[in-house]
Amino acid sequence: MNDFPTWKVWMLTALLVVGVLLAIPSLLTDAQREQIPDFLPQPSINLGLDLSGGVHILLEAQTEEFEDQRLQTMSDRIEDSMEDDGPLIEIGSLSRSGGEVSFTVRDEAQLDDAMERVRALTQPVGFTGERDFSVENEDSLQIVVRPTETGTAEAVNTAVETATEVVRARIDELGTREPTIIRQGSERIVVQVPGLDSPESLMSLLGRTASLEFRMVNYDADPNMALACQAPIGSEALPYANQQETAGCVIVQRRVMVSGDQLVNAQQGFDQRTGEVTVNLTFDGPGGRAFGRVTQENVGRPFAIILDGEVLSAPNINEPILGGNAQITGSFSVQSANELAIALRSGRLPVELAVIEDRTVGAEIGEEGVRLGGLAGMIATVAVMTFMFITYGRFGIYSNIALALNLFLILAIMAMLDATLTLPGIAGFVLTVGAAVDANVLINERIREEQRRGRKIIDAVQTGYKEASRAIFDANITNFIGGALMFSFGSGPVRGFAVVLVVGIITSVFTAVTITRMMVSVWIKNKRPKELVI
């Protein structure tokens, strides 16, 4: 058996030593890990939320509403453009239905001009010269504006991208430990916050669009319309945020005086006179000036503070609000004011996000999982090792050493891949223990068999390894196929299981075949045994 020259033995040993060293940080506690000098690599395995406790939330962009809004904005801009961009173009029957905006031009002579103005409102998307909206003249005087597929996809993409950043900013403000925020597919965002026990505040923070607007109240409107939540043209009837206290709606002008986009800061605070909890706002230059101008012109009249389409309050303007600072109240608690301030600071969500999956695991149950899973793993390993030893003797010891090395290597590789260990992952570990010995069982049984057939020691060992390897190879490849498919199609815990399985297949073939073989050949070379007890 010359297949393991000394250099190869040293190389494999070095590899195993490195593997074991890389696995050690994962087995230490946080405090112990601190003690490792910085020049040493210290990868450690991540615990999944089911083991560490925490909140996993899957958010989905509400694209239907988003597309609706986009169409509404287009329709508003068309209206403005016909009035403001040059000579007035009179239009009629402006409607937004069936996913398109359509209107008619009163004067046929202005048709081309109108088309031109609408085209100017569209944006090019991609490299093909396509635009985000198509503008067509249908039915003589009617112009139809439709969002193009590419345009919509691009808009959703940008909105979700921005939303991901907003979500990240909001969670960072919460100051939690190592949150993970990943965009998934075109419309989803995964948020994982370890060690967080109550998901409610997180969800209310993430689900909030935080679209803040200041608009003038339409004080000319009929109070009965307000009660019935109907609005005259150019105005909008919005409900109160606190429905129980006030019935009906507030009729506000469509035009936005100042919006949350013009904020530079938002802080929770207290009103010095009344002691009420407030949110203090600071506007940027243009925002502050606009706020000052409008309030100066409207002293004595009410304006509405609107958050996510609901009216927080509609106070009278007692004096012009100059200097760019404002204070809003709305029966806040300290916590809710703080949440609102965070949401406002981190910006408006360009698209509404809904929580479509939410999994919360308490920290205690996670610890219990690690403890019980670890214990089960250890007992299983000891039981299997004992069994291997009494069945195969020396060869069993080799298998057991390989098995232990295998566990270290899985940990090391997972730590280096930055993979996550989940509860089913622990089960994966236990299974790998059971399965890793299969290769050795196959080999050892084959060696027994070859010996029975009268082969000499070296010959029996060599043939045993060679013949068994074929089945080991085929069996592991098929398992690998299963594991890989599980990884690509599975989600959450299933993936956690698949990672351990796939990594375990690779390391177990290496340790159970190559490493045991090395040990056997070194033993045979040094001791030149006269008989083989197996």
Sites for other proteins among residues 472-511 (CB under 8 A): 472-475, 477-479, 481-483, 485-486, 488-494, 497-498, 501, 509
14 binds other proteins (CB under 8 A): no
Expressed in angstroms, the distance from the first to the final Cα of the chain is 18
Q: Residue 470 CB, nearest distance to other proteins (Å)?
A: 5
417 binds other proteins (CB under 8 A): no
Of these, 254, 356, 456, 529, which contacts other proteins (CB under 8 A)?
A: 356
Of these, 3, 107, 172, 418, which contacts other proteins (CB under 8 A)?
A: 3
Dihedrals φ, ψ of 266, to 5°?
A: -145, 130
434 binds other proteins (CB under 8 A): yes
- C-alpha dihedral over 21, 25, 26, 28, to 10 degrees? 120
Q: Residue 433 CB, nearest distance to other proteins (Å)?
A: 6
The footprint of other proteins on residues 49-88 (CB under 8 A) is 50, 58, 60
Q: Residue 150 CB, nearest distance to other proteins (Å)?
A: 25
Among candidate residues 130, 63, 125, 133, the one with its CA nearest the CA of residue 100: 133
Among candidate residues 46, 123, 108, 119, the one with its CA nearest the CA of residue 78: 119
Q: Residue 367 CB, nearest distance to other proteins (Å)?
A: 11
Q: Judged by CB, which is closer to other proteins: 283, or 465? A: 465
Give the pairing of strands 188-194 and 212-216.
unpaired
15 binds other proteins (CB under 8 A): no
Of these, 199, 287, 330, 347, which contacts other proteins (CB under 8 A)?
A: 199
**Angle, alpha carbons 346-279-194 (nearest 5°):** 45
Check the CA dihedral 514-520-526-530 and report its sign.
negative
How is residue 38 annotated by DSSP? T
Q: Judged by CB, which is closer to other proteins: 323, or 362? A: 362
469 binds other proteins (CB under 8 A): yes
Concatenating the DSSP letter of every residue in 300-354 gives TSBEEEEETTEEEE--B--S---TTEEEE-SS--HHHHHHHHHHHHH---SS-EE
380 binds other proteins (CB under 8 A): yes
383 binds other proteins (CB under 8 A): yes
CB 418 within 8 A of CB 22: no
Q: Residue 377 CB, nearest distance to other proteins (Å)?
A: 8
Of these, 65, 172, 368, 418, which contacts other proteins (CB under 8 A)?
A: 368
Concatenating the DSSP letter of every residue in 117-131 gives HHHHH--B-SSS--B
Of these, 393, 397, 458, 525, which contacts other proteins (CB under 8 A)?
A: 393
CB 329 within 8 A of CB 238: no
405 binds other proteins (CB under 8 A): no
27 binds other proteins (CB under 8 A): no
519 binds other proteins (CB under 8 A): no
Q: Residue 192 CB, nearest distance to other proteins (Å)?
A: 14
Q: Residue 44 CB, nearest distance to other proteins (Å)?
A: 22
Residue 327, exposed/middle/buried by CB under 10 A (0-12, 13-18, 19+)? middle
Q: Quick check: helix, strand or coil at residue 213?
A: strand
Of these, 68, 136, 364, 418, which contacts other proteins (CB under 8 A)?
A: 364
313 binds other proteins (CB under 8 A): no
Q: Residue 127 CB, nearest distance to other proteins (Å)?
A: 32
Residue span 271-310 as binding mask against other proteins, x where in contact by CB under 8 A, dash where not: ----------------------------------------
Of these, 448, 458, 459, 524, which contacts other proteins (CB under 8 A)?
A: 448
Q: Would you state the structure tokens that stand for residue 50, as one six-digit string?
A: 């089911």
351 binds other proteins (CB under 8 A): no
Cα–Cα distance measured from residue 235 to residue 450, given in angstroms and rounded to the nearest whole number: 92
Cα–Cα distance measured from residue 225 to residue 237, given in angstroms and rounded to the nearest whole number: 9
CB 180 within 8 A of CB 190: yes
Q: Residue 505 CB, nearest distance to other proteins (Å)?
A: 9
Residue span 203-242 as binding mask against other proteins, x where in contact by CB under 8 A, dash where not: x---x-----------------------------------
Cα–Cα distance measured from residue 79 to residue 81, given in angstroms and rounded to the nearest whole number: 6
Q: Residue 390 CB, nearest distance to other proteins (Å)?
A: 5
Of these, 67, 317, 514, 524, which contacts other proteins (CB under 8 A)?
A: 514
Q: Which CA distances in Å does 372 have to 30, 200, 378, 425, 504?
A: 20, 29, 10, 13, 21
